[in-house]
Chains A and B, each alone.
Chain A
Amino acid sequence: MPRMTMIEAIRSAMDVAMERDPRVVVFGEDAGYFGGVFRCTQGLQKKYGKHRCFDAPISESGIIGTAIGMAAYGLRPCVEIQFADYMFPGYDQLTQEAARIRYRSAGDFTVPMVARMPTGGGIFGGQTHSQSPETLFAHIPGLKTVIPSNPYDAKGLLIAAIEDDDPVIFLEPKRLYNGPFDGHHDRPVTPWKSHELGEVPAGHFTEPLGRAAIRREGRDVTILAYGTMVFVALAAAEETGVDAEVIDLRTLVPLDLETIEESVKKTGRCVVVHEAPKTCGFGAELLALVSERCFYHLEAPATRVAGYDTPYPHAHEWHYFPGPKRVGSALKAVMENV
């Protein structure tokens, strides 16, 4: 099986989707000739022509708004927002329009589109190239929110998202583009080429939206993570010796509640990890669900490790980033609370 980086896997997903379905079009800022600032769309214009892959003006509302119009016509746009931090001018179109067109027209009009966007920190991008806005999408009825953690999932989930009949937000953890970064920023990152999740089928396959993956089985505590935090959680489990079960949520909406519930009931403990700020982060939703579903199985308060409630700082990137040390402390804390 070919080995791919996450960038190559995402590109391959769009390639496969465009090859199979002439309705799939790809556009975004710098996404045409150049192939995107992270090179995810490289070669697609050359292969499929300027009508199916092109550069957009710098207007996120324009990109999302035109994608909605195209989707309403019957195309399947898969658009790129250069950084998740840049999506805000398009937020109105995404949350008030794309998300509700099926509902408000009682299914008369639909918006089968995907908005891809790199998310998260770890690249010294400062406050406008580092944010994790997943909750701002997960909160919106009508949107699906996907966040893969590895090349295999990225490809399978992106094809599924493109084939989905509803608008899907596809968040790409940019710190994972080239390897499974575990939060140890002072160590070299293993490239995806030598990681099992870097093995990706060359052709068409899908990973269904709404299904979590258990990355590590364990008995003592359930870690709920997604995106960049999956490998941080795995590192924390190894380094603390806590026998943690690490669940990679993969999609936030729809959420695989069964897998979460089963695991937490088994371990009796739960730690949620995300990079986004703590207050009203997706962890709040997860802990509420765990409390509702698993309260009588809990042996310690379920807890969160998250970004601080500050803008993402430049110089203090590694103080802000919830690395394996902070996750490890939380694991030890829930284990001591017997």
Chain B
Amino acid sequence: MKDAPDQPHVAPTLFVPEPQCRPGDKPDFTGLVFPRAGDARRPPIDARAEDIHDLAYSLIRVLDDHGKAVGPWAGSLSDEEALAGLRDMLKTRAYDARMLLAQRQGKTSFYMLSLGEEAIACAFSKALRPGDMNFPTYRQQGLLISSGYPILDMMNQCYSNAKDPVKGRQLPVMYSSKAHGFFTISGNLATQFVQAVGWAMASAIAGDSKIAAGWIGDGSTAENDFHSALVFASTYKAPVILNIVNNQWAISTFEGVARGRAPTFAARGIGFGIPSLRVDGNDYFAVNAAARWAADRARAGHGPTLIEFVTYRGGAHSTSDDPSAYRPKEEFAEWPLGDPIERLKAYLIARKLWSEERHVQARAEIETEMVQLQKEAEKNGTLHLGPNPSPKTMFEDVYKEMPPHLVRQRQEAGV
């Protein structure tokens, strides 16, 4: 063995990353450099991963600061679709607000807002077709709302009431609907991401044209299942879209702890040879255009796409969390990518398809609808006051056929 060359002794020290700001600090996003709307190029859908590395470090944006849709990713949406998108986002936000209030009033145990992230789920769902399957996390309620799933059933689920489609078995917001392309949500993180790849592989095995979409948060990309998903998707060219929602915060942990020294989450795809896009998640147009690009690509047999949607978690992680303990309160208001609803609204107003008056009116209509639905849902019961599904249902669906030991336990329970 050769002697090591003489050099001054420098000991390694543990590097522990810290967010830019903590409570009491003035929000500072100078570390984030976002390109202008329209700057990112739009490659053909059969582009090779190695030819589009730049898009993993850039940011696909369509809506500019003046309410214009610009650049090569514009044009994926008709006026009607854009108007419907605004309505979907308003509904999602209003639904969230009602259910948060219901939790605060003790009508259920728990709730999770998607405040500030509505464009991602709402615009993404429009790129899917009936039969495609999302493997969502707990913050994609917009997928259901924008694809016409009954909000009444969502409320019934949150109340664990007699009409809860999942029979009171799951925490609020852990919806499930095969018919609406929404895989049953797990409270354990990242597990669904690799399952989405398996579903997509099955579609390819069957020679089907259906595609899958996996969803994961920035924090959970640290889990093994994230990396497994990328390996399998890459190896088998699975028709899957792998979505990372980077909302900056994993409970109290800022995104840099999961990202490490890589500049972006989208860059995770590069080592796996998966075409990877980084997208303005608060831009309804950009989300939709990227989703369509990836969906077309998957359907045409070109394999997976990884997309990082950059956004900001406007609310607490959940009703069990208090973000004022770890981040400045003003951060959300000063988030440089703005509010997805305000941005789409500005576009529609600039195109004279919408107005402040119509916006106020639409919000009022939606609020009335939500209050009405909530009343109806509460007639079906609330968590603590009931009625809930019969306790005997607790023993059902553990297996297809109830085995004798569960029959015995149900009898012992006297239900």
Contact = CB atoms under 8 A, between A and B. Distances in A.
Contacts of B260: 57
Interface stretch (A8-16, A47-55, A192-200, A236-244): A47-55
Nearest to A129: B187
Residues of A contacting B: mostly: loop
Interface of B is mostly: loop
Given A85-B188, A128-B187, A313 B394 contact: yes
Interface string B235-272: 00000000000000011110001101000000000000
Contacts of A313: 168-169, 394
Nearest to A318: B391
A140 to B, nearest CB: 20
Given A85-B187, A126-B187, A310-B395, A279 B405 contact: yes
B308 interface: no
A308 B189 CA distance: 25
Contacts of A61: 223-224
A127 B170 contact: yes
Q: Contact residue range for chain A?
A: 35 or more
Contact of A319 (B219, B321, B394): B394
A92 B264 CA distance: 29
A55 B253 contact: yes
Contacts of A279: 405
Interface in A117-144: 124-129
A220 interface: no
Contacts of B220: 58
Interface in B297-336: 320-321, 325-326
B37 to A, nearest CB: 32
A89 B227 CA distance: 13
A179 to B, nearest CB: 18
Interface string B54-94: 00000000000000000000000000000000000000000
B49 interface: no
A278 B18 CA distance: 45
B22 interface: yes
Nearest to A126: B171
A313 B389 CA distance: 11
Contacts of A29: 250-251, 253
Contacts of B170: 126-127, 314
A103 interface: no
A279 B110 CA distance: 30
Nearest to A277: B409
B378 to A, nearest CB: 15
A314 B382 CA distance: 12
A308 B169 CA distance: 14
A29 B252 CA distance: 9
B25 to A, nearest CB: 13
Interface stretch (A30-38, A104-112, A152-160, A262-270): A30-38
Nearest to B321: A37
Contacts of A278: 409
Contacts of B223: 58-61, 89
A86 B251 CA distance: 15
A127 B415 contact: no
A65 to B, nearest CB: 10
B176 interface: no
Nearest to B188: A128
Nearest to B398: A310
A86 to B, nearest CB: 6
Contacts of A308: 394-395, 406, 409, 413
B280 interface: no
Contact of A50 (B16, B250, B388): B16
Interface string A171-190: 00000000000000000000
A126 B174 contact: yes
A89 B372 CA distance: 43
B395 A314 contact: no
Contacts of B391: 316, 319
Given A126-B171, A126-B174, A128-B187, 10 more contacts: A37-B320, A55-B253, A58-B189, A59-B222, A62-B222, A86-B188, A124-B110, A311-B398, A313-B168, A315-B389
Give me the 10 closest cross-chain CB pairs, A-B, nearest first. A315-B168, A128-B187, A57-B222, A34-B252, A126-B171, A315-B160, A124-B109, A59-B222, A50-B16, A315-B388
